Amino acid sequence: MAETKRKVLPPQELAAFFESFTMLLRAGVPANECPDIIAGDTEGSRLSEASARVAGILSGGEVFILSEALDQSGHFPEYAIEMMRLGEESGRMETTSEALGEYYRQQESLGASIRSAISGPLLLLVMMSVVLIFLIIFVLPVFENVFASLGLAAGGGLGGAFLAARVSMVVVGILLAVILVLVVMYLTQGGREKLAGFAQSVPFTRNIHYSMSAARLTGGLAMLLASGIPSGEALQKAGGLISNRRILERLPAAVEKVESGEDLGKVLVSENVLEGFEAKILLSASRAGQTEQAMRNLSDIYSRETESGIDRLLGMLEPALVGLLSVAIGIILLSVMLPLTSIMSALN
Protein backbone atom coordinates (compact mmCIF):
# COMPACT_ATOMS: atom_id res chain seq x y z
CA MET A 1 0.00 0.00 0.00
CA ALA A 2 1.38 3.39 -0.96
CA GLU A 3 2.43 5.60 1.92
CA THR A 4 0.25 8.43 0.63
CA LYS A 5 -2.90 6.30 1.11
CA ARG A 6 -2.09 5.38 4.69
CA LYS A 7 -3.70 6.94 7.71
CA VAL A 8 -0.65 6.32 9.84
CA LEU A 9 -0.95 6.39 13.61
CA PRO A 10 0.95 9.21 15.37
CA PRO A 11 4.26 8.34 17.09
CA GLN A 12 2.65 8.22 20.54
CA GLU A 13 0.20 5.49 19.53
CA LEU A 14 2.78 3.61 17.46
CA ALA A 15 5.03 3.53 20.53
CA ALA A 16 2.13 2.28 22.68
CA PHE A 17 1.34 -0.48 20.16
CA PHE A 18 4.88 -1.82 19.93
CA GLU A 19 5.50 -1.51 23.69
CA SER A 20 2.32 -3.47 24.44
CA PHE A 21 3.19 -5.96 21.71
CA THR A 22 6.61 -6.55 23.28
CA MET A 23 5.17 -7.14 26.76
CA LEU A 24 2.61 -9.61 25.39
CA LEU A 25 5.31 -11.54 23.53
CA ARG A 26 7.34 -11.76 26.73
CA ALA A 27 4.27 -13.11 28.50
CA GLY A 28 4.10 -15.96 25.97
CA VAL A 29 1.16 -14.66 23.90
CA PRO A 30 1.35 -15.72 20.22
CA ALA A 31 2.22 -12.79 17.94
CA ASN A 32 -0.96 -13.05 15.86
CA GLU A 33 -3.15 -12.82 18.98
CA CYS A 34 -1.50 -9.68 20.33
CA PRO A 35 -3.34 -7.12 18.14
CA ASP A 36 -6.74 -8.36 19.33
CA ILE A 37 -5.68 -8.00 22.98
CA ILE A 38 -4.27 -4.51 22.36
CA ALA A 39 -7.53 -3.49 20.65
CA GLY A 40 -9.50 -4.54 23.72
CA ASP A 41 -7.17 -2.80 26.14
CA THR A 42 -7.24 0.52 24.24
CA GLU A 43 -10.95 0.61 23.38
CA GLY A 44 -12.22 3.97 22.11
CA SER A 45 -8.93 5.13 20.63
CA ARG A 46 -7.43 5.21 17.15
CA LEU A 47 -4.95 2.61 18.33
CA SER A 48 -7.85 0.29 19.17
CA GLU A 49 -9.32 0.74 15.69
CA ALA A 50 -5.96 0.06 14.02
CA SER A 51 -5.27 -3.00 16.19
CA ALA A 52 -8.77 -4.35 15.57
CA ARG A 53 -8.21 -3.89 11.84
CA VAL A 54 -4.97 -5.91 12.04
CA ALA A 55 -6.66 -8.60 14.14
CA GLY A 56 -9.55 -8.80 11.65
CA ILE A 57 -7.14 -9.29 8.74
CA LEU A 58 -5.31 -12.08 10.59
CA SER A 59 -8.53 -13.84 11.59
CA GLY A 60 -9.92 -13.61 8.05
CA GLY A 61 -7.85 -16.59 6.97
CA GLU A 62 -6.16 -15.00 3.95
CA VAL A 63 -3.16 -13.49 5.78
CA PHE A 64 -1.24 -15.32 8.50
CA ILE A 65 1.89 -13.16 8.72
CA LEU A 66 1.74 -10.19 11.09
CA SER A 67 3.86 -7.82 8.97
CA GLU A 68 1.54 -8.35 5.99
CA ALA A 69 -1.48 -7.65 8.19
CA LEU A 70 0.16 -4.45 9.43
CA ASP A 71 0.73 -3.46 5.81
CA GLN A 72 -2.84 -4.14 4.70
CA SER A 73 -4.31 -2.28 7.67
CA GLY A 74 -3.00 1.04 6.34
CA HIS A 75 -2.28 2.38 9.83
CA PHE A 76 1.44 1.63 10.13
CA PRO A 77 4.38 3.32 8.37
CA GLU A 78 6.32 1.33 5.80
CA TYR A 79 9.48 1.51 7.89
CA ALA A 80 7.82 -0.22 10.86
CA ILE A 81 6.34 -2.87 8.55
CA GLU A 82 9.73 -3.58 7.01
CA MET A 83 11.32 -3.80 10.45
CA MET A 84 8.69 -6.29 11.65
CA ARG A 85 9.19 -8.33 8.47
CA LEU A 86 12.92 -8.48 9.16
CA GLY A 87 12.21 -9.43 12.78
CA GLU A 88 10.01 -12.31 11.60
CA GLU A 89 12.66 -13.55 9.18
CA SER A 90 15.48 -13.35 11.75
CA GLY A 91 13.42 -14.78 14.62
CA ARG A 92 13.99 -11.62 16.70
CA MET A 93 10.50 -10.16 16.68
CA GLU A 94 10.53 -9.33 20.39
CA THR A 95 13.78 -7.38 20.09
CA THR A 96 12.54 -5.64 16.96
CA SER A 97 9.21 -4.57 18.47
CA GLU A 98 10.98 -3.33 21.61
CA ALA A 99 13.35 -1.24 19.48
CA LEU A 100 10.43 0.15 17.47
CA GLY A 101 8.65 1.11 20.69
CA GLU A 102 11.73 2.97 21.93
CA TYR A 103 12.22 4.66 18.56
CA TYR A 104 8.66 5.98 18.26
CA ARG A 105 8.59 6.99 21.93
CA GLN A 106 11.67 9.12 21.31
CA GLN A 107 10.10 10.65 18.19
CA GLU A 108 6.96 11.46 20.17
CA SER A 109 9.01 13.06 22.94
CA LEU A 110 10.96 15.18 20.44
CA GLY A 111 7.78 16.29 18.68
CA ALA A 112 6.14 17.19 22.01
CA SER A 113 9.18 19.28 22.99
CA ILE A 114 9.04 21.17 19.71
CA ARG A 115 5.30 21.83 20.00
CA SER A 116 5.70 22.98 23.59
CA ALA A 117 8.52 25.35 22.69
CA ILE A 118 6.60 26.90 19.80
CA SER A 119 3.23 27.22 21.53
CA GLY A 120 4.38 29.98 23.94
CA PRO A 121 5.53 32.55 21.36
CA LEU A 122 2.61 31.64 19.08
CA LEU A 123 0.09 32.26 21.87
CA LEU A 124 1.78 35.57 22.69
CA LEU A 125 1.60 36.63 19.06
CA VAL A 126 -2.10 35.75 18.83
CA MET A 127 -2.98 37.58 22.06
CA MET A 128 -1.16 40.78 21.11
CA SER A 129 -2.62 40.60 17.59
CA VAL A 130 -6.12 40.40 19.07
CA VAL A 131 -5.39 43.55 21.11
CA LEU A 132 -4.06 45.28 18.01
CA ILE A 133 -7.08 44.31 15.90
CA PHE A 134 -9.45 45.48 18.66
CA LEU A 135 -7.76 48.88 18.79
CA ILE A 136 -7.89 49.30 15.03
CA ILE A 137 -11.45 48.12 14.46
CA PHE A 138 -13.24 49.51 17.52
CA VAL A 139 -11.11 52.24 19.15
CA LEU A 140 -9.48 54.06 16.25
CA PRO A 141 -12.72 54.80 14.30
CA VAL A 142 -14.31 56.31 17.42
CA PHE A 143 -11.50 58.82 17.80
CA GLU A 144 -11.51 59.56 14.09
CA ASN A 145 -15.21 60.50 14.34
CA VAL A 146 -14.59 62.57 17.47
CA PHE A 147 -11.75 64.50 15.83
CA ALA A 148 -13.86 65.04 12.70
CA SER A 149 -16.72 66.45 14.79
CA LEU A 150 -14.25 68.86 16.40
CA GLY A 151 -13.23 70.14 12.99
CA LEU A 152 -9.86 68.37 12.82
CA ALA A 153 -9.29 67.35 9.21
CA ALA A 154 -7.70 63.98 8.36
CA GLY A 155 -4.71 65.66 6.85
CA GLY A 156 -1.30 66.70 8.03
CA GLY A 157 -0.09 65.04 11.19
CA LEU A 158 -3.48 63.55 12.05
CA GLY A 159 -3.83 61.82 8.68
CA GLY A 160 -0.25 60.60 8.87
CA ALA A 161 -0.81 59.12 12.32
CA PHE A 162 -3.91 57.23 11.21
CA LEU A 163 -2.10 56.05 8.08
CA ALA A 164 0.80 54.74 10.18
CA ALA A 165 -1.70 52.86 12.35
CA ARG A 166 -3.22 51.17 9.33
CA VAL A 167 0.20 50.32 7.90
CA SER A 168 1.10 48.64 11.17
CA MET A 169 -2.14 46.64 10.94
CA VAL A 170 -1.20 45.48 7.43
CA VAL A 171 2.27 44.41 8.61
CA VAL A 172 0.86 42.39 11.49
CA GLY A 173 -1.78 40.91 9.18
CA ILE A 174 0.93 39.74 6.77
CA LEU A 175 2.86 38.23 9.68
CA LEU A 176 -0.21 36.33 10.88
CA ALA A 177 -0.95 35.13 7.34
CA VAL A 178 2.59 33.79 6.98
CA ILE A 179 2.30 31.93 10.29
CA LEU A 180 -1.08 30.49 9.25
CA VAL A 181 0.40 29.25 5.95
CA LEU A 182 3.28 27.60 7.82
CA VAL A 183 0.87 25.86 10.20
CA VAL A 184 -1.26 24.58 7.29
CA MET A 185 1.86 23.34 5.49
CA TYR A 186 2.98 21.50 8.62
CA LEU A 187 -0.30 19.55 8.66
CA THR A 188 0.43 17.89 5.28
CA GLN A 189 3.22 15.52 4.29
CA GLY A 190 4.20 17.55 1.24
CA GLY A 191 4.15 20.75 3.27
CA ARG A 192 6.42 19.27 5.93
CA GLU A 193 8.88 18.21 3.23
CA LYS A 194 8.96 21.75 1.83
CA LEU A 195 9.44 23.21 5.32
CA ALA A 196 12.28 20.74 5.94
CA GLY A 197 13.98 21.84 2.73
CA PHE A 198 13.54 25.48 3.72
CA ALA A 199 14.93 24.82 7.22
CA GLN A 200 18.13 23.41 5.71
CA SER A 201 18.72 26.59 3.71
CA VAL A 202 18.24 29.12 6.52
CA PRO A 203 21.30 29.74 8.75
CA PHE A 204 19.18 30.03 11.91
CA THR A 205 17.59 26.59 11.47
CA ARG A 206 20.24 24.67 9.52
CA ASN A 207 21.94 23.15 12.57
CA ILE A 208 18.60 22.38 14.23
CA HIS A 209 17.52 20.35 11.21
CA TYR A 210 20.87 18.55 11.15
CA SER A 211 20.62 17.60 14.84
CA MET A 212 17.05 16.36 14.36
CA SER A 213 18.09 14.20 11.39
CA ALA A 214 21.16 12.91 13.23
CA ALA A 215 18.93 11.89 16.16
CA ARG A 216 16.65 9.96 13.80
CA LEU A 217 19.58 8.37 11.97
CA THR A 218 21.31 7.14 15.12
CA GLY A 219 18.01 6.07 16.69
CA GLY A 220 17.17 4.09 13.56
CA LEU A 221 20.63 2.52 13.50
CA ALA A 222 20.31 1.44 17.13
CA MET A 223 16.96 -0.19 16.35
CA LEU A 224 18.26 -1.94 13.21
CA LEU A 225 21.43 -3.20 14.86
CA ALA A 226 19.40 -4.53 17.79
CA SER A 227 17.30 -6.49 15.29
CA GLY A 228 20.37 -8.20 13.88
CA ILE A 229 20.55 -6.29 10.60
CA PRO A 230 24.09 -6.12 9.08
CA SER A 231 25.78 -2.75 9.53
CA GLY A 232 25.84 -1.76 5.86
CA GLU A 233 22.19 -2.62 5.30
CA ALA A 234 21.25 -0.95 8.58
CA LEU A 235 22.98 2.29 7.55
CA GLN A 236 21.25 2.28 4.17
CA LYS A 237 17.80 1.67 5.68
CA ALA A 238 18.33 4.29 8.42
CA GLY A 239 19.09 6.83 5.70
CA GLY A 240 15.46 6.49 4.59
CA LEU A 241 14.34 8.08 7.86
CA ILE A 242 15.98 11.44 7.23
CA SER A 243 15.86 14.29 4.71
CA ASN A 244 18.94 16.30 5.67
CA ARG A 245 20.98 16.93 2.53
CA ARG A 246 24.26 17.31 4.43
CA ILE A 247 23.97 13.76 5.78
CA LEU A 248 22.45 12.18 2.67
CA GLU A 249 25.26 13.46 0.44
CA ARG A 250 27.84 11.66 2.59
CA LEU A 251 25.86 8.49 3.21
CA PRO A 252 26.54 6.53 -0.04
CA ALA A 253 30.32 6.62 0.47
CA ALA A 254 29.87 5.58 4.10
CA VAL A 255 27.59 2.66 3.13
CA GLU A 256 30.13 1.48 0.55
CA LYS A 257 32.95 1.49 3.10
CA VAL A 258 30.89 -0.31 5.74
CA GLU A 259 29.81 -2.99 3.25
CA SER A 260 33.46 -3.49 2.29
CA GLY A 261 34.20 -4.44 5.91
CA GLU A 262 35.18 -1.21 7.64
CA ASP A 263 33.86 -0.46 11.13
CA LEU A 264 30.52 1.39 11.20
CA GLY A 265 31.44 3.82 13.97
CA LYS A 266 34.78 4.77 12.45
CA VAL A 267 33.24 5.31 9.02
CA LEU A 268 30.46 7.57 10.34
CA VAL A 269 33.10 9.76 12.00
CA SER A 270 35.69 9.72 9.20
CA GLU A 271 33.11 10.50 6.50
CA ASN A 272 31.62 13.28 8.67
CA VAL A 273 28.17 11.71 8.50
CA LEU A 274 27.98 12.47 12.22
CA GLU A 275 29.63 15.68 13.35
CA GLY A 276 30.52 17.19 16.68
CA PHE A 277 32.62 16.11 19.62
CA GLU A 278 29.92 13.71 20.81
CA ALA A 279 30.27 11.58 17.67
CA LYS A 280 33.80 10.67 18.75
CA ILE A 281 32.36 8.31 21.37
CA LEU A 282 31.63 5.96 18.49
CA LEU A 283 35.37 5.34 18.10
CA SER A 284 35.85 3.96 21.60
CA ALA A 285 32.43 2.25 21.49
CA SER A 286 33.43 0.40 18.33
CA ARG A 287 36.58 -0.91 19.97
CA ALA A 288 34.54 -2.11 22.94
CA GLY A 289 31.84 -3.70 20.76
CA GLN A 290 29.17 -1.33 22.07
CA THR A 291 28.18 0.38 18.83
CA GLU A 292 24.46 -0.24 19.35
CA GLN A 293 24.46 1.36 22.82
CA ALA A 294 26.57 4.25 21.53
CA MET A 295 23.95 4.90 18.85
CA ARG A 296 21.24 5.07 21.51
CA ASN A 297 23.30 7.53 23.53
CA LEU A 298 24.04 9.66 20.47
CA SER A 299 20.36 9.73 19.55
CA ASP A 300 19.57 11.12 23.01
CA ILE A 301 22.38 13.67 22.72
CA TYR A 302 21.28 14.91 19.29
CA SER A 303 17.66 15.09 20.50
CA ARG A 304 18.73 17.33 23.37
CA GLU A 305 20.77 19.46 20.95
CA THR A 306 17.66 19.85 18.80
CA GLU A 307 15.62 21.01 21.78
CA SER A 308 18.38 23.41 22.86
CA GLY A 309 18.64 24.84 19.35
CA ILE A 310 14.90 25.44 19.20
CA ASP A 311 14.98 27.11 22.61
CA ARG A 312 17.79 29.44 21.46
CA LEU A 313 15.96 30.29 18.24
CA LEU A 314 12.73 31.07 20.08
CA GLY A 315 14.76 33.06 22.61
CA MET A 316 15.63 35.40 19.73
CA LEU A 317 12.27 35.35 17.97
CA GLU A 318 10.08 35.98 21.00
CA PRO A 319 11.59 39.39 21.92
CA ALA A 320 11.52 40.37 18.24
CA LEU A 321 7.81 39.55 17.98
CA VAL A 322 7.05 41.37 21.22
CA GLY A 323 9.00 44.40 20.00
CA LEU A 324 7.25 44.46 16.62
CA LEU A 325 3.77 44.22 18.10
CA SER A 326 4.60 46.73 20.83
CA VAL A 327 5.72 49.23 18.20
CA ALA A 328 2.50 48.62 16.23
CA ILE A 329 0.33 49.18 19.30
CA GLY A 330 2.40 52.23 20.25
CA ILE A 331 1.83 53.76 16.81
CA ILE A 332 -1.92 53.36 17.21
CA LEU A 333 -1.90 54.92 20.64
CA LEU A 334 0.20 57.82 19.37
CA SER A 335 -2.22 58.33 16.47
CA VAL A 336 -4.87 58.94 19.13
CA MET A 337 -2.81 60.84 21.70
CA LEU A 338 -1.14 63.34 19.36
CA PRO A 339 -4.40 64.93 18.19
CA LEU A 340 -5.61 64.98 21.79
CA THR A 341 -2.45 66.86 22.72
CA SER A 342 -3.18 69.40 19.96
CA ILE A 343 -6.71 69.87 21.26
CA MET A 344 -5.49 70.41 24.84
CA SER A 345 -2.94 72.94 23.63
CA ALA A 346 -5.62 74.84 21.74
CA LEU A 347 -7.91 74.91 24.78
CA ASN A 348 -5.08 76.25 26.96
Confidence at residue 17, expressed as pLDDT on a 0 to 100 scale? 94
Closest CA to 106 of 255, 267, 221, 275: 221
Q: Per-residue pLDDT for 50 more than 90? A: yes
Q: Per-residue pLDDT for 23 more than 90? A: yes
Mean pLDDT of all residues belonging to the chain? 80
Closest CA to 267 of 282, 278, 281: 282
Query: Quick one: average pLDDT of 30-34?
Result: 91
Confidence grade of residue 6 (pLDDT, cut at 50, 70, 90): low
Confidence at residue 257, expressed as pLDDT on a 0 to 100 scale? 92
Confidence grade of residue 18 (pLDDT, cut at 50, 70, 90): very high
Torsion sign, CA atoms 242, 244, 249, 255: negative
Q: Per-residue pLDDT for 11 more than 80? A: yes
Closest CA to 126 of 327, 321, 332: 321
Q: Among 15-19, 140-144, 229-233, which stretch is predicted with the lowest mean pLDDT?
A: 140-144
pLDDT tens digit string along 197-222?
777 877 888 888 888 888 888 888 88
Closest CA to 282 of 243, 235, 236, 248: 235
Q: Which of 32-46, 140-154, 281-295, 317-331 has the highest mean pLDDT?
A: 32-46
pTM: predicted TM-score of the whole model, two decimal places: 0.69
Confidence at residue 4, expressed as pLDDT on a 0 to 100 scale? 41
Confidence at residue 14, expressed as pLDDT on a 0 to 100 scale? 93
